[in-house]
Amino acid sequence: MTRENGTGPARLRSDFRPGSTRWAVRRAQWLAMGIAEEDFAKPKIAVVNSSSTLSICFSHLDAVSRVVQEAIRAAGGLPFEIRTVAPSDFVTSAGKQGRYLMPSRDLLVNDVEVQVEGAVLDAVVFLASCDKTTPGQLMAAGRLDLPAIIVPCGYQLGGACGGRDVDIEDLYKGVGTVLAGRMTLEDLTEWSRVAIRGPGVCAGLGTANSMHILAEALGMTLPGAAPVRGGSEAMARNAAASGRRILELLAAGVTARQVLTPAAFRNAVRVATALGLSVNCVRHLIAAAIEAEAEVDILAEFRAAADLVPLLAEIRPNGPRRIEELEAAGGARGVLRALRPLLEDGPTVAGSVMERLEAAPEPDPAVIGSLDRPVRAEPGIILIRGNLAPIGAIVKLAAVPPDIRRFEGPARIFEDEDAAIAALGAGGIRPGDVIVLRMLGPLGGPGTVFAASFMAALVGSGLGEQVAVVTDGELSGLNRGITIGQIMPEAAEGGPLAVVEEGDRVRIDLCAREIAVDLDDGMLAARLAAWKPPPPTRERGWLRQYRALVQPLSRGAVLRGGD
């Protein structure tokens, strides 16, 4: 086989044999598009762009894409921008109670596979933005195993109203404050006018910033890439450097699976634990590890990390510090440096883990603590188990008030988030209740149903420290309070959550890392034996297909055939 220009041995998979059908028809397509013939033999690089005018999270990505493409051209490559689904947790959640959100992650993975593999491109630069795009891009990188790099595209800033700072987290909680009569609709309306000032993802350690940070912890970004303010010069510099770097990765033959190793995932779990990142990062790390065929048990690693890693920073919603303070204090690189004794060496997209840490500046101790002097001695995320969650459930311990480590109360059962919010507004939820939001998981939705809005409303109503929430539904990294998420198995699988009845006593012990319903083994077994699965979904289209393919939360909710 020869190069497309007829000279030298083939070195790129994108070089088709001159005279072949693929060579001829692609050549005609590209000439018609104005691509110069001398460019045909260059490395062909996909720039994955989820630009959309539906959400501020994606509004600036076209400009970022242009920066990356120009850098690729200057480095001797031929960039091709490909567009994918662009799910926004605060926009795409409007339809069907957020059921499209989780399925959109896996739709993105398949979208990338179709376009990159179908066109036989050589390498990929991913522009990472809102909650589902970064995990989907990590999954796609692991599946394709081509040279790949992630470009975190930044967080948004909030504004001010009435003499106080207001961002999307405040607005989110404000709905519950209005329901409780502690704030007027007019005030909430004013907040909505100032809550977002600039492009990018939600401020704070929501799922989007959490996954940007974990992309760096995994070694899939350039050092110092996250968190970063959207539209900033620092973000643009990283985008340009990533465009240049992808050509070097291709020349060196460094592919995604060489970076996404078991050691890389263990490092990421420790960063998640040290910062108290979004509970959703657990399922996303599982899914990325499955796609990369990395032999690592993410749930076991979270259990182990909880005994090793203390909380090193209190970034909203876990504490008073803002995401821009974390960036200024050293960002993901600073946290990694603070965790250095607990990290494993290995390759990244730019140098080894330890080489990167040697070059990193010391983090600001006023924001990022050390292993010797942590912000809190306890971990930021824990996995708890018990007869209500035999496989486990995830708790963002950093977002639970420090004086609450045990909670017990009667179960209040809801299988619809809107019904729970209505009950809250009507005064039907009381201090001491344990709200069970179930049948909302990937299988039960189908497509994980939003439970995050209820939790935010609960906090806004003033009951966030007096009511516990136990759910298999979709939570937000911005949630705080006594929240037990990602119950495994989910109710629709026939997990114990499915047979809890109104008034059953539920006990939560975060010190012992246990959650249980107060039933003896015989009674619980009898209820489970009598349980019948829900009837087949009436949903059509993508959600119906998703339900037929989705695997359990303990498998990252990946689709069958994708592992």
Instruction: Indicate which residues carry an active-site annotation.
Output: 476
165 membership: H or E segment, kind and range: strand 164-166
Closest CA to 405 of 289, 492, 509: 509
Structure tokens at 474: 């979709």
- CA torsion 261→262→264→269, rounded to 10°? 150
8 A C-beta contact, residue 411 and residue 539: no
Helix (H) or strand (E) holding 229: none
Exposure b/e, 447-479, CB count within 10 A at least 16 = b: bbbbbbbbbbbbbbbebbbbbbbbbbbbbbbbb
Q: Which residues pair with 225 in a beta bridge?
A: none
The tokens 């404050």 sit on which residue? 177
**Integer CA distances (angstroms), 122 to 67, 80, 251, 253, in order:** 19, 11, 10, 11
Residue 503, both tokens: 């008034």
38: part of which helix (H) or strand (E)? Answer: none
Q: How far apart are CA 152 and CA 234, in angstroms?
A: 11
Cα 534 to Cα 312, 445, 509: the distances in Å are 43, 11, 31
Single-letter residue type at 248: E
- CB-CB contact of 484 with 282 (8 Å): no
Of 139, 160, 168, 101, nearest in space to 256 by CA: 139
Structure tokens, 50 = 């989820």
C-beta separation of 153 from 200 below 8 A: yes
C-alpha span between 356 and 382 (Å, rounded): 28
Strand order of the β-sheet with 44-49 is 78-83, 44-49, 123-128, 148-152
The structure tokens listed for 307 are 């005994």
Strands (E) across 36-122 are located at: 44-49, 78-83
How many helices and strands in the chain, by DSSP H and E? Answer: 19, 14
**Cβ(381)–Cβ(268) below 8 Å:** no
Q: Which amino acid is at 329?
A: A
Using CA atoms, how far apart are residues 137 and 133, in angstroms rounded to an integer?
Answer: 6
